[in-house]
């Protein structure tokens, strides 16, 4: 007897994927097998973030990086089309020839870009903007194209146009309507927007109709109706709206909506009770929705219905915010003031390019919608106000006047903050109460902000307000001794030219410092002056490991890590490391950082060990410092048959350049010889990946507890530019980061994020470039090997003794046992005594001190 039923899902896009996820989470797979058929060659990915494909690549966008669902009852069939539905036999036919029976069929086939049927629309050089393959094709063509046009000046068209522009193509935007984003914004807003878009270097043509694309077999130009001139072009991208993909339903005889889309009821059921439709191919009540959030709702509703639940689709919020263009545009609620007798409140500043409009109910108490151009910072507050029907404050104009942060207006707990993932203010606050203390942590546990990202600032504000309400202002003081952040302290030290902790705490702090501010200031002084960390005036500030230029281990011994730049080492040097380890009886291990760690060294042996290493040409590896650790390399073009650049050479150059650089947290780099990325460069604070044309520079990645992929800062750089950008990037981070803040968390805290960092590092928007480069040059010029300098200075060496009054007596607390033929720490036994067997000086009498 067959008791398990089968659900077939046609289409593995954003909504199809959400359906499967919800089905697994809510237990539908306990009773049903699911077969998902997707036509694209890869599993579902984040189409909303499609444009970032150019920066982050396909893997980063994927919803299923592993390529399969963990639940074995879900079968994923990719690169395969559903060709037809046989409703009589309850089965679908696939392009592979397979036929699959279903008990329930869910259509999630999405939509396709509408290409106006004008002559020449299918010439070589015409594109649409919907899938990763589309973008790959656009990128390939852009490599040789000079001029291009995007037909359609809506939300998607502008996104595509900006992408073309970023790819180095001189770009025209052609729009039939009299203004850009005609669906979302009004005429005045459209004018302001046009000015911004032109300011970016794009050419805008509104109110013109494209007649045909010209060319023999390749695109050569675009002809407008009623114009004689032809716009010469090498490529055309169509972005003139979308059409629901409802062919399967039509051919199966299901009811369609008047304007296309599978007609479904409020439970998303089609005219056949066993066929459902969700996402952009569906038209609940006859209306299709071109956004992802309503599609997600539909997916949840069908899962609910299949479980016998009562959920219904109740329409959707069509608010939108333009992503990526570098221009703030948002539209929400009734943006066109179509509600009878509604009032409009407009703020416009032509000089600053800001246009803001609020649509208010006749009685003046409710916000119905609005348009924001040039400054959309209020979007996060206003959109939920519309959605939750919150009464307006007394002076609603306050909401759109410049500098208004919306402070003082508080949203109710049920207000929806993230529309993509349907997360309310209350849920965000609950997450904070449960321990998520930052916007990033909230995003991780609620999903808010993880899709289009437009709600991130609002999420951040809710987190901060929550703390403030608890009386826990997020105190940014370094510690009780300094009421400043590390970045502020860095500037204070720089401006005054301080060289000693005493000067700084006397002038700007109180008390005598502690284990937090002392190492922080030691690091700041080292970044600025690059003096020896054991120099007398500052050595008592150093953290545990820096204090002895080695890493303290659990039993009080130290580990020794010589630098092996790029992981490249000669046989002779390898032999020296082996000999030192053997002679000093050290546990030896290959680290995760392409070098070798020698463990179990007694403090008093460190100088002798390092004498041997320095003589053999080794330097400190700074494994103990908050400083550059390693620049990992892959073998690269010298040996590897895929390599396109000398990654080892570059890694060594960078490791030597930045060795000894003290920073707020440790710094790691990586260089890969090609896109296969064997050096895992994108898991590093700075990662470099070779391209045919040069080097791509990625920044702000790390492994560790919260792994983050590094993001593209600039592409195809020559070696010199790469190093210039890296110098600036590292120095800017060192100046502005908090203590123990790695680059990825620092990036999260930079207002404006990666774009801002790019402006500063690549475009030199603050004019800081040469100052940062000079600071790095000063570091490089003053670099000396810390261990070599220590060995040459008896005063510094004097500290490496087990006991001040018995310098050569080994500390009896340190004991070893053997494991796999090497020494490892023995279990601690508690305080031990050597007995009175060692003479330690004669008794003297005097007064008692320090015994208050």
Partner 1 sequence: MSSKVTEPTRVCELEQIDRESGVTALVHGRAVAIFRTHDDRVYALSNYDPFGKASVLARGIVGTRTVDGDEVPFVASPLHKQAFDLRTGRCLDHPDVRVSAYEVIISEGAVLVGGVKEQR
Ligand X SMILES: Cc1cc2nc3c(=O)[nH]c(=O)nc-3n(C[C@H](O)[C@H](O)[C@H](O)COP(=O)(O)OP(=O)(O)OC[C@H]3O[C@@H](n4cnc5c(N)ncnc54)[C@H](O)[C@@H]3O)c2cc1C
Closest residue by beta carbon to ligand SF4: 673
Distance CA 706, CA 828 (A): 32
603 interface partner picked from ligand X, ligand SF4, ligand FES, none, CB below 5 to 8 A per type: none
Q: One symbol per residue from 502 to 531: x for binding partner 1 (CB under 8 A), - otherwise; what is it?
A: ---------xxxxx-xxx------------
Q: For ligand SRM, what does the binding mask look like between residues 700 and 729, x meaning CB under 6 A?
A: --xxxx------------------------
Q: Is 809 in the site for partner 1 (CB under 8 A)?
A: yes
Q: Which of residues 265-324 bind partner 1 (CB under 8 A)?
A: none
Ranges of beta strands (E only) in 156-281 are 170-175, 203-206, 210-214, 221-224, 230-232, 235-238, 242-244, 262-264, 275-277
Cα separation, 693 vs 691, in Å, equals 5
Residue closer to ligand SRM by CB (options 253, 703) is 703
The 3-state DSSP class for residue 124 equals strand
DSSP per-residue codes, 644-683: -S-HHHHHHHHHHHHTT-B-SS-EEEEEESSTT-TT-GGG
CA 353 to mean position of chain CA atoms? 29
DSSP string of 548-604?
TTSEE-TTS-EEE-B--GGG---HHHHHHHHHHHHHTT-EEEE-TTSSEEEEEE-GG
- Segment contacting ligand SF4 by CB under 6 A, of 621-629, 667-675, 745-753, 785-793: 667-675
Among 33, 272, 785, 811, binds partner 1 (CB under 8 A): 811
User: Nearest residue by C-beta to ligand SRM?
Assistant: 704
Collect all residues with Cβ–Cβ distance below 8 Å to 585 and sequence separation of at least 6.
600, 823
Asked if residue 674 binds ligand SF4 (CB under 6 A), the reply is yes
For residue 741, state whether it binds ligand SRM (rule: CB under 6 A): no
Q: Which among 321, 320, 282, 319 has a CA at the least distance from the CA of 301?
A: 282
The Cα-based distances of 97 to 78, 79, 80, 265, 506 in angstroms read: 14, 13, 10, 32, 81
Could you give the CA distance from residue 760 to residue 793 in angstroms, rounded to a whole number?
Answer: 41
Give the C-alpha separation, 427 to 73, whole Å. Answer: 31
Tell me which of ligand FES, ligand X, ligand SF4, none is bound by residue 634, counting a contact when its beta carbon lies within the kind-specific cut-off of 5 to 8 angstroms: ligand SF4
Instruction: Report, in Å, the least distance between residue 433 CB and ligand SRM.
Output: 25
Residues 616-635 that bind ligand SF4 (CB under 6 A): 634-635
Q: Contact with ligand SF4 (CB under 6 A): which of 384, 625, 660, 673?
A: 673
Out of 110, 153, 406, 669, name the contact with ligand X by CB under 6 A. Answer: 110
Per-residue mark of binding to ligand X, 126-155 (x: CB under 6 A): ---xx-------------------------
Exposure pattern of 722-755 as b/e (b: 16+ CB <10 Å)? Answer: bbbbbbbbbbbbbbbbbbebbbbbbbbbbeeeee
Tokens of 685: 């604070």
Residue 551 touches ligand SRM, criterion: CB under 6 A? yes
**DSSP of 79-95:** S--EEEEETTTTEEEET
> CA 849, CA 846: separation in Å to the nearest integer?
9
In the complex, residue closest to ligand X by CB:
13
Question: Could you say which DSSP state residue 399 is in?
Answer: G
Binding ligand X (rule: CB under 6 A), the pick from 22, 35, 123, 156 is: 156
- A 10 A CB-CB count for 820 gives 6
| SS3 category, 77 | strand
Q: Which of residues 545-564 bind partner 1 (CB under 8 A)?
A: 547-548, 552, 554-556
Nearer to ligand SRM, 205 or 629 (CB): 629
**Residue 369 touching ligand SRM (CB under 6 A):** no
Residue 607 near residue 651 (C-beta atoms within 8 A): no
State which residue, 137 or 640, has the beta carbon closest to ligand SF4.
640
Contact flag: residue 843 with partner 1 (CB under 8 A) = yes
DSSP SS3 for 397: helix
Residue 532 CB burial class (10 angstroms; 0-12, 13-18, ≥19): middle
| Nearest-approach distance from CB 429 to ligand X, in angstroms | 25
The CA distances from residue 636 to 467, 633, 644, in Å, are 49, 8, 7
Question: Cβ 568 to ligand SF4, closest distance in Å?
Answer: 14
Could you tell me the two tokens for 716?
């195809």
Is residue 696 part of the contact set for ligand SF4 (CB under 6 A)? no
- Interacting residues with ligand FES (CB under 6 A): 418-421, 448-455
Take residue 725 and report the two structure tokens written for it.
């950008």
Q: What minimum distance in Å lies between the beta carbon of 678 and ligand SF4?
A: 3
- Between CA 559 and CA 553 the distance in angstroms is 7
Instruction: Out of 186, 300, 543, 655, name the contact with partner 1 by CB under 8 A.
Output: 543
**Total site size for ligand SRM, rule CB under 6 A:** 20
Asked if residues 138 and 129 have their Cβ atoms less than 8 Å apart, the reply is yes
Task: In angstroms, give the least distance from the CB of 795 to ligand SRM.
Answer: 26
User: Contact between 592 and ligand SRM (CB under 6 A)?
Assistant: yes
Q: Which of 206, 803, 816, 822 binds partner 1 (CB under 8 A)?
A: 803
Residue 357 or 742: the one with the smaller Cβ distance to ligand SRM is 742
CB of 294 to ligand X, least distance (A): 8
23 makes contact with ligand X (CB under 6 A): no
Picked from ligand FES, ligand X, ligand SRM, none, the partner binding residue 629 (CB below 5 to 8 A depending on kind) is ligand SRM
Q: Which stretch binds ligand X (CB under 6 A): 48-56, 401-409, 524-532, 811-819?
A: 48-56
Minimum distance between the CB of residue 708 and ligand FES, rounded to whole angstroms? Answer: 18
Which of 99, 218, 259, 589 is in the footprint of ligand SRM by CB under 6 A? 589
**Segment (H or E) for 610:** helix 606-615
Shortest Å distance, C-beta 703 to partner 1: 23
Does 183 engage in binding with ligand X (CB under 6 A)?
A: no
**Interaction partner, residue 852 (partner 1, ligand X, ligand SF4, none; CB < 5-8 Å by kind):** partner 1
Give whichever of 16 and 636 is closer to ligand SF4, judged by the CB atom. Answer: 636
Which stretches of the chain bind ligand SF4, using CB under 6 A?
Answer: 634-636, 640, 642-643, 647, 672-674, 676-678
Which stretches of the chain bind ligand SRM, using CB under 6 A?
Answer: 551, 553, 559, 561, 589, 591-593, 595, 597, 623, 629-630, 666, 668, 702-705, 742
């Amino acid at each position: 007897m067959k008791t398990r039923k089968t659900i077939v899902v046609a289409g593995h896009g954003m909504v199809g994927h959400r359906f499967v996820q919800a089905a697994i989470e809510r237990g539908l797979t306990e009773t049903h097998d699911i077969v998902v058929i997707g036509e694209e060659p890869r599993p579902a990915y984040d189409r909303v973030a499609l444009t970032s494909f150019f920066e982050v690549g396909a893997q980063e966008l994927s919803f299923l990086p592993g390529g399969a669902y963990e639940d074995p009852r879900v079968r994923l069939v990719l690169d395969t089309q559903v060709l037809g539905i046989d409703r009589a036999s309850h089965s679908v036919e696939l392009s592979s020839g397979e036929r699959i029976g279903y008990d329930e069929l869910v259509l999630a086939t999405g939509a396709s870009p509408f290409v106006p049927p004008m002559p020449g629309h299918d010439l070589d050089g015409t594109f649409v903007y919907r899938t990763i393959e589309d973008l790959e094709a656009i990128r390939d063509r852009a490599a040789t194209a000079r001029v291009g046009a995007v037909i359609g000046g809506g939300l998607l068209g502008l996104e595509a146009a900006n992408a073309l522009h970023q790819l180095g193509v001189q770009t025209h935007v052609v729009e039939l309507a009299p203004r850009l984003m005609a669906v979302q914004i009004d005429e005045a807003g459209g004018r302001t927007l046009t000015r911004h878009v032109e300011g970016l270097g794009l050419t805008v043509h509104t109110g013109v109709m494209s007649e045909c694309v010209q060319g023999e077999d390749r695109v050569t130009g675009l002809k407008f109706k009623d114009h004689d001139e032809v716009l010469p072009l090498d490529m055309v991208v169509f972005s003139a709206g979308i059409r629901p993909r409802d062919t399967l339903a039509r051919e199966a005889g299901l009811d369609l909506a008047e304007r296309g889309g599978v007609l479904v009821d409020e439970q998303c059921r089609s005219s056949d009770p066993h066929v459902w439709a969700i996402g952009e191919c569906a038209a609940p009540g006859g209306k299709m929705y071109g956004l992802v959030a309503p599609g997600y709702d539909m997916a949840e509703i069908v899962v609910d219905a299949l479980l016998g639940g009562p959920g219904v689709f109740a329409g959707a919020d069509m608010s939108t915010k333009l992503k990526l263009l570098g221009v703030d545009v948002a539209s929400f609620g009734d943006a066109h003031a179509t509600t009878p007798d509604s009032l409009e409140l407009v703020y416009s500043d032509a000089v600053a390019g800001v246009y803001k409009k609020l649509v208010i109910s006749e009685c003046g108490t409710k916000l119905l919608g609005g348009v924001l151009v040039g400054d959309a910072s209020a979007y996060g507050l206003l959109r939920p106000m519309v959605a939750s029907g919150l009464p307006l404050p007394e002076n609603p104009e306050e909401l759109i006047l410049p500098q208004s942060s919306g402070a003082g207006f508080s949203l109710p707990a049920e207000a929806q903050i993230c529309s993509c993932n349907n997360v309310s203010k209350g849920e965000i606050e609950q997450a904070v109460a449960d321990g998520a203390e930052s916007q990033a942590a909230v995003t991780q546990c609620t999903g808010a902000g993880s899709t289009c990202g437009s709600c991130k600032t609002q999420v951040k504000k809710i987190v901060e307000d929550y703390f403030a309400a608890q009386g826990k202002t997020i105190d940014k003081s370094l510690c009780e001794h300094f009421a400043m952040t590390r970045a502020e302290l860095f500037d204070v030290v720089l401006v005054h030219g301080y060289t000693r902790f005493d000067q700084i705490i006397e002038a700007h702090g109180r008390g005598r410092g502690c284990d937090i501010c002392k190492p922080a200031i030691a690091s700041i002084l080292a970044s600025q002056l690059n003096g020896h960390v054991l120099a007398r005036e500052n050595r008592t500030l150093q953290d545990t490991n820096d204090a002895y230029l080695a890493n303290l281990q659990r039993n009080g011994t130290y580990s020794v890590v010589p630098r092996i730049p790029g992981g490249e080492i000669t046989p002779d040097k390898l032999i020296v490391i082996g000999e030192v380890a053997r002679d000093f009886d050290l546990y030896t291990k290959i680290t995760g950082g392409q070098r070798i760690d020698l463990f179990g060294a007694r403090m008093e042996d460190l100088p002798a060990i390092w004498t041997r290493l320095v003589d053999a040409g080794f330097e400190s590896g700074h494994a103990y410092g908050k400083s550059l650790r390693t620049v990992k390399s892959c073998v690269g073009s010298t040996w590897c048959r895929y390599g396109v650049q000398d990654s080892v050479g570059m890694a060594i150059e960078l490791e030597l350049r930045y060795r000894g650089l003290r920073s707020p947290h440790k710094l790691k780099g990586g260089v890969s010889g090609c896109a296969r990325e064997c050096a895992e460069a994108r898991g590093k604070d700075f990662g470099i990946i070779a391209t045919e044309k040069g080097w791509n520079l990625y920044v702000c990645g790390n492994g560790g507890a919260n792994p983050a992929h590094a993001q593209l800062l600039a592409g195809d750089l020559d070696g010199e530019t790469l190093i210039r950008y890296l110098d600036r990037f590292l120095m800017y981070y060192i100046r502005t980061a908090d203590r123990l803040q790695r680059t990825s968390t620092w990036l999260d805290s930079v207002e404006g994020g990666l774009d801002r960092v790019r402006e500063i590092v690549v475009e030199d928007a603050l004019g800081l470039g040469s100052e940062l480069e000079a600071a790095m040059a000063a570091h490089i010029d003053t670099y000396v090997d810390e261990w070599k300098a220590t060995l040459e200075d008896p005063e510094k060496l004097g500290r490496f003794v087990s006991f001040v009054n018995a310098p050569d007596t080994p500390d009896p607390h340190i004991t070893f046992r053997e494991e796999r033929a090497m020494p490892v720490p023995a279990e601690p036994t508690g305080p031990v005594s050597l007995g009175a067997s060692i003479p330690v000086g004669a008794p003297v009498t005097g007064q008692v001190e320090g015994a208050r």
